[in-house]
Amino acid sequence: MSNSSSTYSISVQASTEHLSEVRDFVAKHASEFGFAPQDVDDIRLAVDEAYTNIIKHAYKNDRQKSVDIELGYNSQKFWISLLDTGDAFDPSNYSKPDVRQKIKEKKRGGVGVYLIRKLMDDVEYQTKGSVNEIRMTKKR
């Protein structure tokens, strides 16, 4: 088995306008990695949710800010990191959403973090200095 690995990165403005560009970037590399279409779809959605959360929660819709997206893979796994310098997300607040209850209260949102965990094999959050990182991994 080869030990070779590849990494790629882009930096995008924190705006929902760039969502499809971000999705296409990760989907292209996930396909090249050899994932089945369902796995590519999972990664595309997980990255969409993570990027949308940064725009809304870390940066509170300040489109002057930017998000760095890095991805890489080796023979066993594919990972994507999104880095921002906004408000840190506290994963201890995370719980499985009760959609029935949310509907009753006419609440939307709050389901993205759960989706990311369902879609990816591993999700880690960390903050170093002013930089927050969410790193999502999917195994081959």
Partner 1 sequence: MKNFKINHREVRSYDVLELSGELDAHTASQLENSLKKLIDNEKHHIIVNCEDLDYIASAGLGVFMAYIEDVRSLGGDIKLTNMNPKVYNVFDLLGFPTLYDILEEESDAVEKFDNNESK
Q: What does the binding site for partner 1 look like in residue numbers (CB under 8 A)? A: 16-17, 19-21, 23, 41, 44-45, 48-49, 52, 55-56, 97, 99-100, 102-104, 106-109, 111-112, 114-115, 118-119
Continuous segment of H or E residues that includes residue 137: strand 131-139
Q: Which is nearer to partner 1, 118 or 140 (CB)?
A: 118
Question: Minimum Å distance from CB 41 to partner 1?
Answer: 6
Q: Which is nearer to partner 1, 118 or 139 (CB)?
A: 118
Residue 14 contacts residue 62 (beta carbons within 8 Å): yes
Phi, psi (deg, nearest 5) at residue 102 = -60, -40
Question: Minimum Å distance from CB 110 to partner 1?
Answer: 9
Question: Minimum Å distance from CB 70 to partner 1?
Answer: 21
List Cα–Cα distances, 25 to 10, 31, 88, 105, 114, in angstroms.
9, 10, 25, 36, 23
